[in-house]
Amino acid sequence: MSDCETAANRKYAFSAGLALWILILGLAIRLVFAPVFTYPFDIEHWGVILQNTESGNGLFGLTGYFYTPAWGYILGFEDLIINLLPGMTYGERFTDLLEIEGMVFPYQTATTTTPVFNFAMKLPLILVDVLVGYLIYRLVMSECGDERKAAIGFGLWFLCPIVIYMSSVQAQFDCISALLTLLCVLLVRRNLFFIAGVIFTIAALIKFFPAFCIFLLCVYVVKATPGRLSWKNLLLSVSGAVLTALVIFLPQILDGTVMNAFSFVFGRTSEYDLMLMLRTYPFIAVTLVMLVILAIFAWRMDDARRKQDFLVLILAMLSICTIFSPGPQYWIVYLPLLSYYIACRDRNRALLICLIAMAILTTTAAFFNNSFSLLTTASEYLHLCEPQTVISWMHALDTPVFGTPLTQLVVFIVEFIQLIIMILIALFLLSDLGLFDRYNKLNEFITELRTILGGEIRG
């Protein structure tokens, strides 16, 4: 085999070295966590949705489903697999856990799912984690040709604590949003515009953050090819997106429940207290302004630089639109692109330190939100600890500190620091793109921040 063929083959396979060990370690952690530890409130709702659809009521026929249909269809596919398992039971309500429903954090439940159901629901999410990691590995290899850098990019994603937590503990589907977003931008770069439009719609309906990249995607599609063909490509992309939306919403269009598909957004907005509302309005204003600014900036770029920095533009937009969104898991949507950027293109430790800090902070916030309810399956089904012990530990985390329950105080502090770091990530990326080149003092300030956080990365 020639050297060229060997190098080409390495682009599409994990190295037998560092990347393989990262894969083994990440899988081992996930496969141990998945059946034992779980946040019962979320996964109970997935079970309720499966039962509702099995009863013939559809996604919105009974109360319990608060997302767009895309996630419901994925759950339906999982249900087909689960039904193949003999004697599968979702879980049950335990009277000795009723006390946890009165905790400070309102989203706790005495209904606890079985280890087998936990594993069945989380296994597809774990596989998605692997697929995202593989795409990052390939992306870094294709641009750098360096197995070590590719393994680092893969590891930044696959061993990130919040990624492990959301797929193998909380059973949240942000990894699917990350996968589809990454696929969409890679397909656009390969000029596969119709399929990219299809993937874009699904990504935006899984979690709405990718929708904020629509102007950047349109600019790239139009500028990717010269003359009339550019607008034909844009029409092709839009056709894929619109047709996919029609297919996804067709059952709801027929039965008149389309607005129910957006109850998650409207419902959450109506429940926000004053502090969260104050975060929401700046989020909307800043995001919309930056959406337009970045689109204009991308339009004015020369073709070579636009192609080179396309992924960074998308990364910057996603980093901005997630800044003001409460919740430890939302930044996962841009973590694959951030991992690629740090491994392949960034020459400063600042972004790496920000990523590590975000991983620690968001995992801490997720744990304090969920508390020791993560042990309810372990206590009721596996008998690894007593239910009353779990309850006493949860009460301990609700102990008032300066008049505020410890859980709320920790989450408030963590989210405040998280907000600052997310702003720094966005500033660093915008600076790298050259958006602040005309503003010397701002550029000097950002450079000073990077110097404080860390120097150049060697090698």
**pLDDT above 90: residue 88:** no
pLDDT in tens, 265-277: 555 544 444 445 5
In the block, which residue shows the tokens 């020369």?
302
- pLDDT number for residue 64: 62
Q: Is residue 302 part of a domain?
A: yes
* Token duo for residue 124: 């597809």
In the block, which residue shows the tokens 């942000």?
174
What are the backbone dihedrals phi and psi of residue 110, each rounded to the nearest 5 degrees, phi first? -85, -5
The DSSP secondary-structure symbol of 260 reads G
Q: Which domain holds residue 352?
A: 8-372+407-453
Q: Is residue 280 part of a domain?
A: yes
**pLDDT above 70: residue 214:** yes
Residues 372 and 394 sit within 8 Å (Cβ to Cβ): yes
- pLDDT number for residue 118: 93
**pLDDT above 50: residue 349:** yes
Q: Which pLDDT band holds residue 12 (cuts at 50, 70, 90)?
A: very low
Cα torsion 216, 208, 435, 154: sign: negative
**Phi-psi category of 145—alpha, beta or left, where left has phi over 0 and alpha has psi -120 to 50?**
left
Q: What number is the average pLDDT over the span 23-31? A: 97
Residues 426 and 320 sit within 8 Å (Cβ to Cβ): yes
Q: Is residue 389 part of a domain?
A: no
- pLDDT number for residue 142: 92
Q: Which pLDDT band holds residue 374 (cuts at 50, 70, 90)?
A: very high
In the block, which residue shows the tokens 């949003």?
177
- pLDDT number for residue 279: 58
pLDDT in tens, 39-79: 998 898 888 888 877 777 777 766 666 778 888 888 888 88
**pLDDT above 90: residue 413:** yes
Q: Alpha-carbon distance 165 to 175, whole Å?
A: 11
The DSSP secondary-structure symbol of 85 reads S
| Residue that wins the pLDDT comparison between 98 and 53 | 98
Burial of 402 (0-12, 13-18, 19+ CB in 10 A): exposed
Q: Is residue 226 part of a domain?
A: yes
Q: What number is the average pLDDT over the span 419-426? A: 94
Q: What residues have CB less than 8 Å from 452, skipping those under 6 apart?
A: none
Q: Alpha-carbon distance 447 to 444, whole Å?
A: 5
Q: Is residue 105 part of a domain?
A: yes
**pLDDT above 50: residue 3:** no
- pLDDT number for residue 107: 85
The highest-confidence range among 25-34, 264-273, 284-293, 391-400, by mean pLDDT, is: 25-34
Q: Which pLDDT band holds residue 2 (cuts at 50, 70, 90)?
A: very low
- pLDDT number for residue 348: 77
Q: What percent of the chain has pLDDT over 70?
A: 89
Q: Alpha-carbon distance 112 to 104, whole Å?
A: 19
Q: Is residue 196 part of a domain?
A: yes
Residues 152 and 139 sit within 8 Å (Cβ to Cβ): no
- Put simply, whether the predicted model's pTM sits higher than 0.85 gets the answer yes
Length of the chain: 459
**pLDDT above 80: residue 202:** yes
Q: What number is the average pLDDT over the span 328-353? A: 92
Q: Is residue 395 part of a domain?
A: no
Q: Is residue 335 part of a domain?
A: yes
Domain count, the chain: 1
Rg value, the chain, Cα: 23
Count, in order, helices (H) and strands (E) of the chain: 20, 4
Average pLDDT, the chain: 87
Q: Alpha-carbon distance 429 to 346, whole Å?
A: 10
Residues 194 and 233 sit within 8 Å (Cβ to Cβ): no
pLDDT in tens, 236-269: 999 999 999 999 988 878 877 777 666 655 555 4
Cα–Cα nearest to 384, from 372, 395, 394: 372
